[in-house]
Amino acid sequence: MKRFLVLNTLLVTFLLLIINYYSSNFVLPNTYLGDKKISGMNFEEVKEYINNKYSDPFLLTAQDRVYTYNFKDLGILVDYPSLKSNIFPQKTRFPYSIGYFLKSLLSKNYLSTPLNFSQDYYQFISSTIFDFNTEEDKIIVDQSNKILHFQDFDQRYVIDTQSLQKELSYNFAKNNININPKLIKVEPRVKGVATDYNQHLAWVYQKPVSIIINMPDGTSQTITISTTDLKNITTIQYIEDGDKLNIAINETEFTGLFSSLVKPIKTDPDKNISMMQFSEDLKSLLNTRFSGQESSHILAKFDYAPNTYGDKANKYIEVDISQQSMYLFDNKKMNAKYKISSGLYYPTPVGEFKILNKYVNAYSEIFNVYMPYWMAFYYGSDLGAYFGIHELPYYVSEGVKIQRPREFIGTPKTGGCIALDIGAAKEVYDFAEVGTPVYIFN
């Protein structure tokens, strides 16, 4: 009986030692890596299997599009130390190994492959955008309400990193891998641009603008541009290239509003409020508001300025004899001012005229002088002569060119024509054409 017990004990001990050796060196029964049964394989054999799978391609499906990748190219590495500890847990030392072995006989054990994700993988995730757009996003300018509307056609997505990592780890050792990772929609860039600009535009148009006018008698008057008028006289333009927003003055609407606000309080026929300066001051105020700063007032005063506001024609010349000044208007905006010399020996005619003819260098038989950059605007029938705009005249004596003094400019010194300084006359000559209107005021 004792011999039987001894033999049984030896047999059980031998069996347990075999089981312990097997559990420590070979994968337990009913163990799967992916859909591969790896039971009975040693770790080197498992590694060889994984290495063979490492370069196998797998499919990644994003909506209706299918892409082919492999683990190696994506910078995904197998964490072999972790894999070994999963296959051969520390508690497989005797006697725990016996329990694990017996347990493996009763149920299947599915293992995932632990992976390490390198910088190349994260670079792939951050740079890979799946674009399903059928139309580009747009920012539409609402000129009436002075806001931007965002039209979202954006269908761009990136892969959710954690979702993809779990899918890759779970499916690594499987055959015919097709992964459908979770996708995250990319927030449209221009949507944030529109929201930000709308906030700034709200600051621009939230309050009226007060114009404080210093009157010639020392008093002041205040007129107001309402928020509705502000919207009417301005236009906004969104420039997609660079995501820029411009606020501009609508010259036509601005001229009408300016005339209706200022003309009723004009007190001096020789003085006015400069529409150009007023426009620049208003632009500055709007830009200040757009930057988020408070600004509600514009200071203005009557001074020597044009008699018109750019509203006589698209392009014309204005002359004010009392100021001895000439103004050029183009596209309903004053773009140049010059000092002149008007008639002393005969008054310069006042009224509405137009350029009748042009000559680079005309000659006056009345005064026996040359008149560079001549532009006639009126024919005086009583004198039998044309009145014109020209450069300071000159005559030639013994081969020497003698020009009228430049100090004449700014005071009446001519025989009725309008003389300009050297250089200025050519600029006006280049500006005007035959038919260009000329308005002359006393």
Query: Do 244 and 349 share a domain, yes or no?
Result: no
- Quick check: is 251 in a domain? yes
Q: Can you tell me whether residue 248 is helix, strand or coil?
A: strand
Query: Do 279 and 346 share a domain, yes or no?
Result: no
Task: Check: CB of residue 165 under 8 Å from CB of residue 115.
Answer: yes
Query: Do 280 and 340 share a domain, yes or no?
Result: no
Structure tokens at 243: 């995501």
Confidence of residue 321 (pLDDT cuts 50, 70, 90): very high
Query: Do 254 and 328 share a domain, yes or no?
Result: no
Query: Do 348 and 405 share a domain, yes or no?
Result: yes
- Quick check: is 106 in a domain? no
For residue range 51-100, list pLDDT tens digits in order. 888 778 889 888 888 888 888 888 888 888 888 888 876 555 666 667 66
- Quick check: is 62 in a domain? no
Is residue 439 over pLDDT 90?
yes
Euclidean distance between CA atoms 325 and 409, whole angstroms:
10
What residues form DSSP beta bridges with 379?
A: 386
Confidence of residue 224 (pLDDT cuts 50, 70, 90): very high
The CATH number of the domain where 395 resides is what? 2.40.440.10
Please identify, among 301, 335, 352, the residue that sits at the C-terminal boundary of a domain: 301
The CATH number of the domain where 206 resides is what? 3.10.20
Place of tokens 């005309």: 362
For residue range 13-62, list pLDDT tens digits in order. 656 666 666 666 788 888 888 778 888 888 888 888 888 887 788 898 88
Structure tokens at 415: 């025989």
User: Across residues 391-404, what is the average pLDDT?
Assistant: 91
Strands 315-320 and 437-441: parallel
Query: Do 363 and 272 share a domain, yes or no?
Result: no
Please identify, among 301, 335, 367, the residue that sits at the C-terminal boundary of a domain: 301
CA distances from 250 to 31, 140, 143 (A): 79, 19, 11
Percent of the chain's residues with pLDDT above 70: 88
Query: Do 203 and 284 share a domain, yes or no?
Result: yes
User: Across residues 212-236, what is the average pLDDT?
Assistant: 89
- Quick check: is 403 in a domain? yes
Is residue 280 over pLDDT 80?
yes
Quickly list H helices, 26-67. Answer: 43-54
Please identify, among 241, 273, 301, the residue that sits at the C-terminal boundary of a domain: 301
Q: How many domains does the chain have?
A: 2
Task: Check: CB of residue 173 under 8 Å from CB of residue 152.
Answer: no
Euclidean distance between CA atoms 213 and 301, whole angstroms:
5
For residue range 109-168, list pLDDT tens digits in order. 888 888 888 888 888 888 888 887 766 667 788 888 888 877 766 677 888 888 888 888
Is residue 201 over pLDDT 60?
yes
Query: Do 338 and 427 share a domain, yes or no?
Result: yes
User: Across residues 289-303, what is the average pLDDT?
Assistant: 87
- Quick check: is 389 in a domain? yes
Query: Do 319 and 420 share a domain, yes or no?
Result: yes
- Quick check: is 226 in a domain? yes
Quickly list H helices, 55-171. Answer: 80-87, 96-104, 119-127, 161-171
Query: Do 288 and 355 share a domain, yes or no?
Result: no
- Quick check: is 245 in a domain? yes
Domain residues for the domain of 351 are: 315-441
Query: Do 337 and 432 share a domain, yes or no?
Result: yes
- Quick check: is 345 in a domain? yes
Query: Do 229 and 334 share a domain, yes or no?
Result: no
Q: Taking each helix axis as running N to C, give the angle between helix 189-205 and helix 275-290, from 0 to 180 degrees, rounded to the nearest 10.
A: 130
Lowest mean pLDDT among 138-147, 217-226, 264-273: 264-273
* Contact partners, residue 61, CB within 8 Å, separation at least 6: 67, 178, 179, 180
Please provide residue 298's backbone torsions phi and psi, each rounded to the nearest 5 degrees: -125, 135
Strands 297-301 and 209-214: parallel
Please provide residue 37's backbone torsions phi and psi, each rounded to the nearest 5 degrees: -80, 120
Neighbour tally for 175: CB within 10 Å: 11
Q: What is the pTM of this model?
A: 0.48
CA distances from 332 to 235, 255, 277, 316 (A): 16, 8, 14, 9
Is residue 419 over pLDDT 90?
yes
Q: Which is more confident, 74 or 204? A: 204
Identify the pLDDT of residue 33: 85
Q: What is the dihedral of CA 65, 66, 68, 71, to 10 degrees?
A: 90
